[in-house]
Structure formats: C-alpha cells, structure tokens
Amino acid sequence: MPTYIAKRLLAAIPVILGLSIIVFLVMKLIPGDPAQALLGSYATPDNVARINRALGLDRSWPEQYVIWVGNLLQGDFGRSYILNRPVLDEVVERFGATLILAGASLVICSILGILAGIVSAVRQFGWTDRIVTFFVLIGISMPAFFLGLVFILFFAVQWRLLPASGMYAVYGGGDLPDLVRHLILPASTLAIVATGVVARLTRAAMLEVLRQDFIRTARAKGLSENKVIYRHAFRAALVSIIPVLGIQAGFVLGGAVYIETVFQWPGLGQMLVKAVSTRDLLLVQGGVLVAATVYVLVNLLADVAQAMLDPRLKA
C-alpha cells in the first residue's frame, strides 16, 4: 500500500503542475489591465507603467510564470493588491468556510444518495424505485442557483424558518447552533444535484452486484435479506461508489462558487467572484490553485480507499 500511495502522489504532481499552467494562462487571457483596475480614475500611462513594474507584469509570460511557481514552492502566494494582505492568509481564511459548506454537502449527498440508490435497486421496478428515480431526475435537472433562490423565498422570506444569508447572525449568535442554522439552506441546495448523481450510480452498482453468483449463494445459505444487502452486496458495490464520491467532492467545491454568491457565504467562491471582477490576479490564481489541489488530493484519497477495498487495483 505505501508503494501504491507513493505512485499516486507522484502521478498527482504533473496534474497539479498542469493546473497551475492553466490557471495562469486563463487569468492572462481575461480582458482588462490589472493596473488600470487597481488605479481606477488615477490610471495615467505613467502610473500604469509604474504599477506593472512593481507587480512584475512588464515581464514576459514565461518569466512571470516561473517567478510565480518559484514563490509558490517557497510558500509565498504573493500579495493581494486589492486587499493589501498576503494571498495565502486570505485563501486559508476563506477556504475554512468553503470546507464547512462543501463538507456538509458531501456528507448529505453521500448518505442520502447511497441510501436512495440501495432502496431503488432492492425495489427495482417497484413504486419505491419509480419515486426515487423521479426525484433523482428532478434533482439532477434543477439548476442549483435557482433552487437556492426558491429555498430563500420559501424558507427564509415566506416562512421565516431559516436565515437567508451569511455564516453567522449579525447580532449575537456565533456559536455552533447558529452556524448550523445558516448552513442548512446552502448545504442542502449544493447537495441536491450531487445526491441525484450518487443515487443513480449507486443503484447501477447495486443492481450489477445483486445479479452475481455469490449473492445467490448467500441467500441460499439462509442469510437474512438485510445481511445479504448491506454486508455482502453493498460492500462489493462500494468499490464502484467511492470514485463517484471523489468526483462529487470536486462538484461541491466547484458549485460552492455560485452557491456562496447566492447565500452570501463568506467562503472561497465569493472571494474568487470579487477577485475576478477586480482583476486581482494573484488572489484568483492562489484561490483556484488551492481548490484544484484539494480536489486532486480528495480523489487521491478515494483511489487509496478503493484500492484498500479491492487489492486488485494496486497491481
């Protein structure tokens, strides 16, 4: 297993390097001049040239990229010229809020999606299967940002059951119950689409396993149906389900960008939206690279967990 993990870590290095190149180039291709965005009405040619020299933007793209990556390897993500603070400090502070939102969404979609998929597979072609399939299709088809607005309209505006925005109450609060109340709507919104995907693929994996010979043998031995389903069938299907959960981790991280905007959640997504609008290059590059690296590492963990369940994958 240590050898397998080392191989997977080495394979992740070129992926992260490629991501850094893509992030750098995309930001360079966005129209607009960061110096002009920073200076605003004071953007005279002399001032723009001075800011470009100070930020190193007067160098060629390859030089800028090499300098940026070299600083990253030393733990220096640069300094946000809009916020006037280190990029790493801002990203770490914001990423904590995003991790809470994405983690809660991933837990919700994993539990509900797996349970719905198992029930749907066990009751194949029955009413339960049809009902689950119907709601799964609605969840997958519903845009998350639209669903978030609907949730705000009913749960926050009409019924006043839950807060519509923020991470904590403006006055008072600040404790765990307050955080949970603010987390329910955005986490549920972000989890719905992912729940549908997990449920569909869990159902397909379970149906494939339930047709295997060892399941018929287990039933012939007189084992209870619950033991057959959860101890044997689900354990075998979990090998196919784990990679799906890894992919959905990336989905909830990416979906947090617009969900945080809808619910004014003070996380990485909301920071990136503001940074892009102000052309804060280093802040955008640092934020996207951190999120992408976390996604790669989560999928690495999913691969390791899958290999632990099925040793043949380590070959």
Task: Report whether 216 contacts 232 (CB < 8 A).
Answer: no
> Is 101 found in the same domain as 59?
no
Say which residue, 144 or 155, is predicted with more confidence.
155
Range of the domain at 286: 88-314
Contacts of 63 (CB under 8 A, 6+ apart): 56
pLDDT on residue 312: 67
Question: Other C-beta atoms within 10 Å of 277: how many?
Answer: 11
Q: Over the stretch 33-74, which tens digit does the pLDDT of each residue have?
A: 777 877 777 778 888 888 888 878 888 999 999 999 999 999
Distance between terminal CA atoms of the chain? 10
> Is 237 found in the same domain as 136?
yes
Contacts of 292 (CB under 8 A, 6+ apart): 16, 19, 23
> Is 80 found in the same domain as 93?
no
Mean pLDDT, rounded, of the chain = 89
> Is 36 found in the same domain as 94?
no
> Is 140 found in the same domain as 47?
no
> Is 99 found in the same domain as 31?
no
Any idea what the CATH number is for the domain that residue 121 is in?
1.10.3720.10
User: Into how many domains does the chain fold?
Assistant: 2
Q: Over the stretch 109-133, which tens digit does the pLDDT of each residue have?
A: 999 999 999 999 999 999 999 999 9
> Is 102 found in the same domain as 45?
no
> Is 141 found in the same domain as 61?
no
Q: Which of 87, 118, 152 is the last residue of a domain?
A: 87
Q: pTM of the entire structure?
A: 0.90
> Is 204 found in the same domain as 146?
yes
